[in-house]
Amino acid sequence: MKVDLTIALAGNANVGKSSIFNQLTGLGQIIGNWPGKTVEKAEGMLFHHNKQIKIIDLPGIYSLSTYSQEEIVSRDYIALERPDVVVNVVDATSLERNLFFTLQLIEMGIPLVIALNLVDIAKKKGITINQVKLQKLLDSFVVLTIATKGIGVHEIVDAALEQANKQSPENKPGIRYGPEIEKRIEKLGRVLTGVNIGYPLRWTAIKLLEQDSEIVNKIKEKHPDVIVAANILAEEISEIHKEPCSTVISSERYAVAARIVKEVQTFKESEKPSISERFDGISMHSVWGYVLMFTVMLSILMFMSFFGGWLSETFTNLFESFNPHLTGFWPDLLWNGGVVGLYATLAIAFGFILPFYLILGVLEDSGYLPKIAYLMDRPCHTIGLHGKACIPLLLAFGCNVPACVGCRIMETKRDRFIAIFLSTLVPCSARTVVILGLVGAYVGVQWALALYVFDFILIFIIGKLLNKIVPGVSVGIIMEMPPYRLPSRKVVLKQAWNRFKPFLITALPLIILGSIIIEAMRITDILPLISNALSPITVVWLGLPAFTGFLFIFGVLRKEAALVLLMAAAGTVNISSVMSPVQMVVFALVIMIYIPCIATIAALIRETGWKKAGLITLTEVGLAIFIGGLAYRLLNVFM
Amino acid sequence: MPKEHIEEYLEAIYDIAGREGTAKTTEIAERLKNAPASVTEVFQRMKQNGLVRYESHKGVSLTAKGYKAAIKMKRKHRLLEVFLDKMLHLPSDKIHDQACKMEHTLTDETETALCKTLRGPNHCPHGSPIPPCNLEVKNCQECLSEESLKLEKRDKDVISITSLKHGEKAKIVFVRGGGGAMQRLCDLGLTHGTVVSLLREAPLNGPIEICVRGCKLVIGRGIAEKIFVQKT
């Protein structure tokens, strides 16, 4: 497709870039009220004034001196791929910190449009910003927006088009630093002539003075002399200011940002604390914060257990009332394989998966997730991580795949590996289906709860071990705390649908197909052949019925399928007639741990490489078989 | 009364009562293995010197002057512990007692030299934070790169940001260490001279939440302990 213009959305984390992106492209980027949701860039198209415009949504970035992996994605895109226009989305409620990044963009000399977002929330806080003055001081277009309501988003594109149409983008001077720094930038600029790494010259010189490791590494090999010169000059600046050169430069940028804010912003501080702040007092309290957190988690689990159980029963009764009770090969295959597969899957989808995605959407949009990161930071240290890791770990309850990708918010390779490993052990919605739908429904909620508790203990132990084995130490949390906000119904619904759609499209047909295949194999007596091959593990060691062997194989594709197919393989929806309570607990336990599903394995390979992905997978298979057999022997004593 | 005797008392009061709390006479007596009567006598003397506030029924607490002297001793003690552990490799059960004896004869000049040789350590071998020095520097690099020891002393009460009370405001004066995390703090607006306020802290040495330039940030304990501030 012909693209007339490329616009990239860039700015600090959690300022509304993805909201603007969704408004412009009509796509469903995941959005939510916590920093670090977007870890990969997303692309979308917009047809505006007869022009095909490509919109790029970039991960949040605080400074071009990058800190975590997702920030590097943003920086490299802006600096190397050079979009036609960069739209810098700025949070009007914390203008000073946002301008720190804006000033760096201006320094890079890219055509720029500033979207001053969240102006409604700023107004509520008593902050008003003089748009005209800001426009003049920054010498760039400034558009006021309220992204969640779609206000101002098309004006952004108009401004971007206008900006792009300016034939020769005037050379903006950017910030002028103190004379002692400017002199050295100029000196280094002269040394740099002829060295081309794709970045603008002045910017490269400043980055070298800041001793930015990425840029230094890019130049070091071919031009070691440049690095030596840069180090000498940086040393001179440090000497004058008695501070490392990079902090001197940051301080100067902040001084400029503060000066601009002083001129354009008026702030009337309200007397009483806002509702969000008062709620912080409870949700981040040393005692009540934890009480609230456990109550929230437990009630979600309880709700899902009862609601899901009730809905799947209703579905079963509804469909069973239509059961024609025909006999023969084809009716058997179509009804027991196809229809039972369909309604069992629908019951799972609407009873467990969709409600969970709705709850997750509310949690994400409300801004509660970062509070959990704060509360859990100290406990996370015992497993060698810091509080930020809680966010991907919580997302893993929905699905392990985005959780593995989301671990990119961790700053070091070590932290990422541990967080990814642990994410794959978190019971995702598919495993929740098996735990609640089988153990919760047939054995008792307390046993389902026990399985969860056991899983958390297992995660803790594995985390402790990994902390010992993997060398290095965690860097510690540095994270922005967004204020609470009322979750938007539209956003939550859309988000849940975006996550649910892939399940309907890929999982539903797959499970029904699997169900028909199993039914066919059962009728034609092929199933026992496969099951018998696996029986040394399934029957002898784990104490499960032989037909479960096939389920473990199919479960690698989709773990929720294991429950539906269990009914198909057993030839009945009444599972308690073919499995004892102990067998159900052991079955759910093994399903919970035994292997990441195929989609997760693919994500693991992408995020950590073949070797580590293989290591994680094999460890979990071994662990599940070992623990399952042990549980079977122990539980038989108690139950 | 010998100087080290008073210094031991200051440290004991600091250990039990901290910056603003009160210690009971019996607690101090027990810790220093002295008779309560002689402890009371020392307290009276220290009160005359303006080091403590003392009332027989309430107990003893440190004055600003006493506090400054106490953390100075703590700093010397913990630096010596690091020295004995890292450089001399003494067995860990000997370190504390040896440092207790050496700390009283350590001059300020030697203290600074020791800190530089050890490259500005953060914690003693037992994990307690080492109070910052009272030199007029903005961070450790400045001190480490400076050849001469002739740095001006600052006569200010510099404390770690984690020692602020909830809701208290202070100005950043000194950041220990360096590297990526420090640059990140700077990029998030925690530059030299910025006013920050401590909002809350999580229990059991968890992270702290601060307000800086109108934004709320959560910072892990390990990083926060390296940020030093001066109350405004």
Longest dimension (CA), chain A: 92
| Average pLDDT over every residue of A276-295 | 89
Residue B221 lies in a domain: yes
Q: Which domain holds residue B125?
A: 76-129
Q: Taking 70 as the threshold, does the pLDDT of residue A271 lie above it?
A: no
pLDDT band at A86 (very low <50, low <70, confident <90, very high): very high
C-alpha angle with apex A462: A461 to A463, nearest 5 degrees?
A: 90
Residue-wise pLDDT for A100-115, tens only, equals: 999 988 888 888 999 9
* Inter-chain touch A387–B213, beta carbons under 8 Å: no
Contact state of A247 with B183 under an 8 Å Cβ cutoff: yes
Contact between residue A573 and residue A316 where contact means Cβ atoms under 8 Å apart? yes
pTM here is 0.76
Architecture of the structural domain at A179-267 = Orthogonal Bundle (1.10)
User: Nearest C-alpha of chain A: how many angstroms from B152?
Assistant: 13
pLDDT tens for B95-122 read: 888 888 888 888 888 888 888 888 788 8
Q: Which residues of B touch A484 (CB under 8 A)?
A: none
Say how many domains are in chain B.
3
pLDDT confidence bin for A280, thresholds 50/70/90: confident
- Contact yes or no for A163/A83 (Cβ under 8 A): no
A478 contacts in chain B (CB < 8 Å): 181, 184-185, 188, 217-220, 223
User: Which of A101, A243, A412 is the best substitution to test chain B (most B C-beta atoms within 10 A)?
Assistant: A243
Cα separation, A339 vs B15, in Å, equals 73
CATH number at residue B218: 2.30.30.90
- Is the pLDDT confidence value at B148 over 50? no
Q: What is the pLDDT of residue A171?
A: 57
Task: Please state the ipTM of this predicted complex.
Answer: 0.81
Question: B173 lies in a domain?
Answer: yes
B146 lies in some domain:
no
Boundary-marking domain end, from B129, B144, B174:
B129
- How far is the C-alpha of B148 from the C-alpha of A595, rounded, in Å? 62
Go through chain B and tell me how many residues it has: 232
Least confident of A601-610, A621-630, B208-217: A601-610
* A9/A24 Cα distance (integer angstroms): 11
| Interval B62-80 mean pLDDT | 88
- pLDDT mean across residues, chain A: 84
* Cα–Cα dist B82/B103, whole Å: 12
Strand order in the sheet with A85-91: A42-48, A51-57, A5-10, A85-91, A112-117, A141-144
User: Which of B129, B104, B130, B11 lies closest to B60 in space, CA to CA?
Assistant: B11
Between B184, B192, B202, which is nearest A377 by CB?
A: B202
B108 shares its domain with B85: yes
Q: Is residue B134 part of a domain?
A: no
**Per-residue confidence (pLDDT) for residue A193, from 0 to 100:** 80
Q: Which of B145, B181, B207 lies at the smallest CB-CB distance from A377? A: B207
Contact B202 A374 (CB under 8 A): yes
Q: Is residue B53 part of a domain?
A: yes
State the Cα–Cα distance between residues B75 and A393, nearest whole angstrom: 40
- In Å, the largest CA–CA distance within chain B is 56
Please check whether residue A479 touches B, CB under 8 A.
yes
Q: In this predicted structure, what is the pLDDT of residue A91? A: 92
Q: Which of B33, B62, B91 marks a domain boundary?
A: B62
Q: What pLDDT sits at residue A172?
A: 61
**Both B47 and B89 in a single domain?**
no
Average pLDDT over residues B175-182: 73
Q: What is the mean pLDDT of residues B58-76?
A: 88
- pLDDT per residue as tens digits for the range A224-265: 888 888 888 888 888 887 778 888 888 888 988 988 898 888
Inter-chain touch A480–B188, beta carbons under 8 Å: yes
Residue B226 and residue B166 share a domain: yes
Chain-chain contact of B216 with A481 (C-beta, under 8 angstroms): yes
* Nearest-angstrom CA–CA distance, A257 and A97: 8
Is residue A336 over pLDDT 80?
Answer: no
Report which DSSP code applies to A352: I
Strand (E) or helix (H) holding A479: strand A478-480
Q: Please tell me whether residues B120 and B84 are part of one structural domain.
A: yes
Q: Which of A270-274, A470-474, A616-620 has the lowest mean pLDDT?
A: A270-274
Single-letter residue type at B42: V
Are residues A315 and A346 in contact, defined by beta-carbon separation less than 8 angstroms? yes
Taking the CA of residue A96 and the nearest CA in chain B, the distance in Å comes to: 7
Long-range contacts of A504-507 (CB under 8 A, 24+ apart): A504/A349, A507/A345, A507/A558, A507/A560, A507/A561
User: Do A5-165 and A179-267 have matching folds?
Assistant: no
Q: What is the pLDDT of residue B156?
A: 64
On whether the CB atoms of residues B61 and B17 are closer than 8 A, the answer is yes
In a domain, B41, yes or no: yes
Chain B within 8 Å of A33 (Cβ-Cβ)?
no
Residue B149, pLDDT score: 44
Q: Is B166 on the interface with A (CB under 8 A)?
A: no
Task: Supply the CATH number for residue B45's domain.
Answer: 1.10.10.10
Rounded to an integer, what is the distance from CA B150 to the centroid of its chain? Answer: 22
Confidence label for A451 from pLDDT (cuts 50, 70 and 90): very high
A7 sits in which H/E element: strand A5-10
**How many cross-chain Cβ pairs, A to B, lie less than 8 Å apart?**
129
Asked if B42 and B94 sit in the same domain, the reply is no
pLDDT per residue as tens digits for the range A41-57: 888 888 888 888 899 99
Q: If you count DSSP H runs as helices and E runs as strands, how many of each does chain A have, helices first? A: 30, 9
- The Cα-based distances of B154 to A28, A133, A471, B125, B139 in angstroms read 56, 41, 40, 27, 13
Choose the mutation target among B191, B196, B198, B217 for the interface with A, i.e. most A CBs under 10 Å. B191
Comparing CA positions, the residue from B113, B42, B46 lying closest to residue B76 is: B113
Q: What is the CATH number of the domain that holds B107?
A: 1.10.60.10
Measured between alpha carbons, how far is B52 from B62 in angstroms, rounded to an integer?
Answer: 4
pLDDT at A142 over 50: yes
Q: Is the pLDDT of residue B145 over 70?
A: no
Residues B100 and B54 in one domain: no
**Structural domain spans, chain A:** 5-165, 179-267, 288-638
* β-bridge mates for residue A112, sequence order: A86
Q: In 3D, which of A610, A595, A582, A516 has the Cα closest to residue A553?
A: A595
The model's pLDDT over B195-228, given as tens digits with 9 standing for 90+, comes to: 999 999 888 888 999 999 888 999 988 888 888 8
**How far is the first Cα of chain A from the last one, in angstroms, to the nearest whole number?**
64
pLDDT beyond 70 at B146: no
At the topology level of CATH, where does A5-165 sit?
Rossmann fold (3.40.50)
* Distance to chain A for B58, nearest Cα, Å: 29
| Residues B164 and B225 both lie in one domain | yes
Angle at B43 between CA B42 and CA B48, to 5 degrees: 100
* Chain B residue with minimum CA distance to A258: B213
